[in-house]
Amino acid sequence: MRWYLCFVLLLGSTPAPALAQQCRLVIHSASAPSTSLPSTNSQSLNSPSTTSVSTSAAPTPTQTPFVPFAYGSTPVRGVNLGGWFVLEPWITPSIFNNTNNNAIIDEYTFGQLQDDQTALGVLQQHWDTWITENDFIAIAAAGLTHVRIPVGYWSVPTNTSVSPYIPGAWPYLQRAVGWARSHGLHTIIDLHGAPGSQNGYDNSGQRTNSPQWALNSTNVNATLAVIQVLASELGPNVDAIELLNEVAGFLGSAWDSAVRQYWQSGYAVVRQAADDNVVVVIGDAFEGVEHEYQIFSTLELSRSEDEHIQFACQDTLPTLAGFAPNNMWTVTGEWSTATTDCATWLNGRGVGARWDGSIGGGTTALGSCEGLTGDWTTFSNDYIAYLRKYWEVQVEVGEAVQGWIYWTWKTESADEWSYQKGLEGGWIPKDPTQRLYPGLCNGTSS
């Protein structure tokens, strides 16, 4: 998760310059998902200790054969599995709180500033419980077609040191991919954290003012090695591999050129390592598009509810649609119904919110955060109605192109971000085609 709409562009199986109309996707048909345990072999490559993943709740594969997704003609309707394989303090504050160490602010420091075995124990418990097979069942039941799974490079076995990160999530990731497939969900594997950090945000694994990814070709080459393993190991069971989430293209020309080169190299790596049908996904590296979250500056937060809706219709929608004449499918890869930055630690562990001024630095408070985050049963009916409307307009925008992927399925305590809680509280419909406010972007209904 980060401050801007993450546009993801889906590249089909032809070389980038000539993608055009040839984009086509035929998933390896119907080889039944492997429901067996991940091999301990691959995992032991970089695990500090041998872990075993229990299948206590044995997957119960639905018998329907896995149907290839009709990209380009059917909208992607998906949800991110945030905070699972890349920790984010605002998604699971308790994991950070429980360390009793305020200097532990991201997954990097989580590994660095405590004993390896302690950290591994907490992480294993988290990997095993944060998202379970029941979540995949619920996601499918909510009419969604896709899961996007953020992954840190440190979880992918390449036989190079990832210290101080704690490796070991690989078998859990393999199991997740199997669950998705057995419940008919299409998977996008999203490399969310790269060596050196590609943006300096905690959601890259490392919160830092001086991200290094693009500045050292050792990092970029190591990232390609990670993509190679993801493509060859998971390719047969996933729809798509996203080469790298939210590269900070705005940091200067060195970053710009590194990421352009990386898209080319990464595309070639996937094509070589996996079947042609595996779609390659790239992001826009923050270049040339607007914010979609509309909550990470005072300017955006100051918009009224109607202005938020208007912005989505009049600004985001045409920009997205502008990609259409391009030769790539476009999907809004991250967005949410949150209308404030009130969720605890959304701006980083220990960092306050702009909304109520607790971020400091002379920020003028716009209001109280009370009733706007936390447990949805404290939300007012008006707020819930607005969350619904805001959900609908963004779905409308996403479906004006090739679809959308909501951020995020689950949070510990920020219900306004949670798809799961939205279903429970009714601001997200159990059938994603249902509308209470049809045609919001026609400008006739508000």
Ligand X SMILES: *[C@@H]1O[C@H](CO)[C@@H](O)[C@H](O)[C@H]1NC(C)=O
Q: Which is nearer to ligand X, 12 or 266 (by Cβ)?
A: 266
Min separation Cβ 22 and ligand X, Å: 28
Question: Binding mask 29-48 vs ligand X (x if CB under 6 A, - otherwise)?
Answer: ----------------x---
Out of 49, 216, 264, 368, the only residue in the binding site for ligand X (CB under 6 A) is 216
Closer CB to ligand X, 371 or 439, in the complex: 439
Residues with a known catalytic role: 246, 334
Taking alpha carbons only, the member of 446, 413, 409 closest to residue 135 is 409
User: Among 221, 257, 261, 368, which residue sits at the site for ligand X (rule: CB under 6 A)?
Assistant: 221
SS (H, E, C) the chain: CCCCCEEEEEECCCCHHHCHHHCCCCCCCCCCCCCCCCCHHHHCCCCCCCCCCCCCCCCCCCCCCCCCCCCCCCCEEEEECCCCECCCCCCCHHHHHCCCCCCCCCHHHHHHCCCHHHHHHHHHHHHHHCCCHHHHHHHHHCCCCEEEEEEEHHHCCCCCCCCCCCCCCHHHHHHHHHHHHHCCCEEEEEEEECCCCCCCCHHHCCCCCCCCHHHCHHHHHHHHHHHHHHHHHHHHHCCEEECCCCCCHHHCHHHHHHHHHHHHHHHHHHHHHCCCCCEEEEECCCCCCCCCCCCCCHHHHCCCHHHHHHHHHHHHHHHHHCCCCCCCEEEEEECCCCCCCCCCCCCCCCCCCCCCCCCCCCCCCCCCCCCCCCCHHHCCHHHHHHHHHHHHHHHHHHHHCCEEEECCCCCCCCHHHCHHHHHHHCCCCCCCCCCCCCCHHHCCCC
CB-wise, 35 or 97, nearer to ligand X? 97
Site stretch for ligand X (CB under 6 A), options 28-36, 101-109, 217-225, 351-359: 217-225
161 is a site residue for ligand X (CB under 6 A): no
- Minimum separation from the CB atom of position 219 to ligand X (A): 6
User: Does 52 sit near ligand X (CB under 6 A)?
Assistant: no
Which of 113-121, 212-220, 296-304, 350-358 is the region at the interface with ligand X (rule: CB under 6 A)? 212-220
Q: Which of 328, 193, 299 is nearest to 248 (CA)?
A: 193
373 lines the binding site for ligand X (CB under 6 A): no
Tell me the number of residues near ligand X by CB under 6 A: 15
Smaller CB separation from ligand X, 8 or 244 = 244
Given candidates 344, 373, 408, 411, which one binds ligand X under the rule CB under 6 A?
A: 344
* Cβ nearer to ligand X, comparing 97 with 310: 97
Contact between 112 and ligand X by CB under 6 A: the answer reads no
Q: How far is the CB of 197 from ligand X (least distance, A)?
A: 12
Binders of ligand X in range 164-203 (CB under 6 A): none
121: contact with ligand X by CB under 6 A? no
Binding to ligand X by residue 288, rule CB under 6 A?
no
To ligand X, the closest distance from the beta carbon of 442 in angstroms equals 4
d(CA 214, CA 242): 17
Q: Which residue is nearest to ligand X (CB)?
A: 439
Report whether 432 contacts 142 (CB < 8 A).
yes
- Cα 331 to Cα 321: distance, rounded to the nearest angstrom: 10
Minimum CB distance to ligand X smaller for 29 or for 218 = 218
442 near ligand X, rule: CB under 6 A: yes
Q: Considering the complex, what minimum distance in angstroms separates the CB of residue 277 from ligand X? A: 26
Cβ of residue 222: shortest distance to ligand X, in angstroms? 8
CB of 349 to ligand X, least distance (A): 9
Nearer to ligand X, 99 or 298 (CB): 99
Residues 61-100 that bind ligand X (CB under 6 A): 93-94, 97
Residues lying near ligand X in the complex (CB under 6 A) are found at 45, 93-94, 97, 159, 216-218, 221, 344, 438-439, 442, 444-445
